[in-house]
């Protein structure tokens, strides 16, 4: 798919801007702070309903305005669609598809698909587990938009369960009678139900990404690997996880994993058992201790984990390899995503620059941002826009 027109109103630094786009490569060039990333952030938002830079919507609304609108025309094959999203911080966001407002923002997911490379990606390798969970879950949602519902169910149940545990912990400390544990049983079941689905998708995704990431790393940094992705679950041990992965691959779940009922039931039972095992500690500490929200994706390079061991350059190559693998995956599963390279070339040495450029140049739509022209590799000469003082002009 590709975006043929992007229009923003009160989004970030833009009061209003209209940007017509073509397939192929387009670069946005301009000095620091002129609004290049703001443009591609808007496209990323349409694809994931979130920003790669901030976790709440408030900073996305132009200072002084009370709502932002992102509007995009999107073409996939013969089909064109108009998507509109209105961001209302503190209130519900609204969406329209082809001018119909009978839709929820979540229904927009899957129309725009994008893979975004940004300097922030270094945190995938060096940062907290939360960064890697978000990476996995956003990709899961891009593969299968209905997972947005499962994710928000999980988050909601987790919040409610934590509230309950917190009040139980308070009551205990104040010598209260303790809580009615049957309520907690019900929350355990809800948590395990959504958690099992999320876990099954993550395990399957990692099995699918593994060879793609290894290949991408080899292309970016020949001889530097191998890389190995390892899911670390707070609830299941490695043996149980392997069994799930095997189960999933036997069921032929390599694409659009709709985890088999068997895998899901198995995981459900294991999550419930894990919750039962830590219940006493949970009631003491007032927080949910096991589940997908506590898991991590360990990124190994050679025989060591990249985090804490890999050099700066290796960490960068790893992050890029994960993004390239995501791109390959979404592409292979149909509906090619928009590839966004936000300021990444400036961070790379000449060799990796060229390699990355060659790998992405065949993409259906590639959007590149750079502070100076020289940072954009020659093979990515495409349409060019100058971004300055709130204006985006084709040159
Ligand atoms: N909500 C907002 N309201 C108004 N201005 C904002 C808002 N959010 C960000 N900005 C402004 O947008 C500018 C940053 O834009 P952006 O990140 O797109 O820059 P850039 O062109 O990518 O720069 P760089 O080359 O440094 O990455 C900053 O000047 C910032 O003050
Ligand atoms: Mg930028």
Which tens digit of pLDDT belongs to each residue from 21-38? 999 999 999 999 999 999
Count of CB atoms situated within 10 Å of the CB of 141:
23
Average pLDDT, the chain: 91
Question: Percent of the chain beyond pLDDT 70?
Answer: 94
Ligand 1 pocket: which of 6, 17, 34, 372 to mutate (most atoms <8 Å of CB)?
Answer: 34
Tokens of 220: 């970016």
pLDDT at residue 199 greater than cutoff 70: yes
pLDDT reported for residue 252 = 52
Give the residue whose CA is nearest to atom 3 of ligand 1.
62
Mean pLDDT of the 83-99 span: 97
Whether 12 and 370 have beta carbons less than 8 Å apart is answered as no
Decide: 62 in ligand 1 pocket, CB within 6 A.
Answer: yes
**261 CB burial (10 A radius; 0-12, 13-18, 19+):** exposed
Nearest to 368 by CA among 378, 16, 188: 378
Mean pLDDT of the 217-228 span: 92
Decide: 188 in ligand 1 pocket, CB within 6 A.
Answer: no
pLDDT at residue 69 greater than cutoff 80: yes
Q: Do β-strands 79-87 and 68-76 pair in parallel, antiparallel, or remain unpaired? A: antiparallel
pLDDT reported for residue 260 = 65
Give the residue whose CA is nearest to atom 17 of ligand 1.
37
pLDDT reported for residue 250 = 62
Q: Which residue has the tokens 């017509």?
A: 20
273 confidence band (pLDDT: 50, 70, 90)? very high
Q: Which CA distances in Å does 71 have to 84, 244, 273?
A: 4, 41, 46
Helix (H) or strand (E) holding 28: strand 24-29
Nearest ligand, CA of residue 32? 1
pLDDT at residue 150 greater than cutoff 60: yes
Per DSSP, the three-state class of 34 is coil
257 confidence band (pLDDT: 50, 70, 90)? very low
If phi > 0 it is left, if psi is from -120 to 50 it is alpha, else beta; for residue 178 that is left
| Residue with more model confidence, 362 or 18 | 18
Nearest ligand, CA of residue 388? 1
Ligand 1 pocket: which of 9, 15, 16, 38 to mutate (most atoms <8 Å of CB)?
Answer: 38
Decide: 14 in ligand 1 pocket, CB within 6 A.
Answer: no
| Residue with more model confidence, 274 or 257 | 274
Helix (H) or strand (E) holding 181: helix 181-220
266 confidence band (pLDDT: 50, 70, 90)? confident
Decide: 33 in ligand 1 pocket, CB within 6 A.
Answer: yes
Distance in Å, CA 40 to ligand 1 centroid? 12
Decide: 32 in ligand 1 pocket, CB within 6 A.
Answer: yes
Q: Residue 221 and residue 56: Cα distance in Å, rounded?
A: 35
Tokens of 318: 């790893």
Point out the ligand 1 atom lying closest to the alpha carbon of residue 65.
Answer: 3
Count of CB atoms situated within 10 Å of the CB of 109:
22
pLDDT reported for residue 254 = 44
Please state the length of the chain. Answer: 395
One-character DSSP codes across 116-177: EE-GGGHHHHHS-HHHHHHHHHHHHHHH-TTHHHHHHHHHHHHHHHHHHHHHHHHHHHTT--
pLDDT reported for residue 183 = 86
Distance in Å, CA 10 to ligand 1 centroid? 13
Decide: 13 in ligand 1 pocket, CB within 6 A.
Answer: yes
Q: Which residue has the tokens 């920003």?
A: 51
Question: In sequence order, what are the residues at sequence separation of 6 or more whose Cβ sits closer than 8 angstroms to the Cβ of residue 122?
Answer: 315, 316, 319
Whether 379 and 357 have beta carbons less than 8 Å apart is answered as yes
Distance in Å, CA 355 to ligand 2 centroid? 22
Q: Which CA distances in Å does 339 have to 212, 357, 378?
A: 17, 12, 17
Ligand 1 pocket: which of 6, 8, 11, 12 to mutate (most atoms <8 Å of CB)?
Answer: 12
Distance in Å, CA 20 to ligand 1 centroid? 21
Nearest ligand, CA of residue 118? 2
Give the residue whose CA is nearest to atom 12 of ligand 1.
13
Decide: 371 in ligand 1 pocket, CB within 6 A.
Answer: yes
If phi > 0 it is left, if psi is from -120 to 50 it is alpha, else beta; for residue 90 that is left
Mean pLDDT of the 153-166 span: 95
Nearest to 300 by CA among 292, 312, 308: 308
- Measured torsion, CA atoms of residues 64, 70, 71, 74, in degrees rounded to the nearest 10: 160
> What's the pTM?
0.92
**306 CB burial (10 A radius; 0-12, 13-18, 19+):** buried
Q: Residue 151 and residue 67: Cα distance in Å, rounded?
A: 25
Decide: 8 in ligand 1 pocket, CB within 6 A.
Answer: no
pLDDT reported for residue 255 = 38
Decide: 343 in ligand 1 pocket, CB within 6 A.
Answer: yes
Distance in Å, CA 38 to ligand 1 centroid? 6
Please give the distance of CA 216 from its chain centroid, rounded to a whole number: 19
Q: Residue 395 and residue 320: Cα distance in Å, rounded?
A: 29
Q: Which residue has the tokens 């804490």?
A: 308
5: β partners = 20, 73
């Amino acid at each position: 798919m590709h975006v043929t027109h992007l229009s923003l109103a009160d989004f970030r630094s833009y009061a209003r801007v209209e940007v017509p786009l073509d397939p192929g490569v387009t670069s946005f060039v301009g000095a620091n702070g002129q609004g290049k990333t703001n443009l591609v952030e808007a496209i990323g938002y349409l694809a994931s309903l979130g920003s790669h830079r901030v976790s709440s919507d408030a900073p996305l609304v132009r200072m002084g305005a009370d709502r932002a609108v992102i509007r995009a025309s999107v073409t996939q094959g013969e089909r064109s669609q108009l998507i509109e999203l209105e961001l209302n911080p503190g209130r519900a966001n609204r969406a329209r598809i082809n001018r119909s407002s009978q839709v929820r923002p979540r229904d927009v997911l899957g129309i725009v698909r994008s893979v975004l490379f940004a300097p922030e990606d270094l945190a995938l390798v060096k940062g907290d587990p939360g960064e890697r969970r978000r990476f996995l879950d956003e990709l899961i949602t891009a593969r299968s938009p209905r997972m947005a519902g499962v994710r928000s169910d999980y988050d909601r149940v987790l919040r409610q369960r934590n509230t309950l545990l917190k009040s139980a912990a308070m009551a205990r400390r104040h010598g209260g009678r303790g809580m009615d544990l049957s309520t907690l049983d019900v929350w355990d079941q809800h948590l395990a139900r959504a958690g099992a689905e999320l876990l099954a998708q993550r395990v399957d995704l990692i099995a699918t990404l593994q060879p793609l990431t290894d290949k991408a790393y080899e292309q970016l940094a020949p001889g530097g690997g191998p890389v190995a992705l390892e899911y670390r679950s707070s609830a299941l041990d490695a043996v149980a996880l392997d069994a799930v992965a095997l189960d999933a691959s036997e069921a032929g779940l390599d694409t659009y994993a709709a985890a088999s009922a068997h895998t899901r039931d198995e995981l459900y039972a294991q999550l419930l058992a894990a919750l039962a095992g830590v219940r006493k500690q949970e009631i003491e500490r007032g927080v949910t201790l096991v589940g997908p929200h506590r898991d991590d994706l360990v990124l190994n390079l050679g025989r060591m984990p990249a985090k804490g061991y890999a050099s700066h350059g290796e960490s960068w190559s790893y992050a890029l390899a994960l993004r390239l693998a995501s791109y390959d995956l979404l592409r292979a599963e149909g509906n090619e995503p928009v590839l966004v390279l936000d300021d990444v070339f400036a961070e790379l040495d000449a060799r990796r620059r060229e390699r990355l450029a060659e790998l992405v140049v065949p993409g259906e739509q590639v959007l590149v941002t750079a502070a100076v022209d020289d940072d954009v590799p020659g093979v990515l000469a495409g349409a060019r826009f100058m971004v300055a003082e709130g204006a985006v002009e084709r040159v």
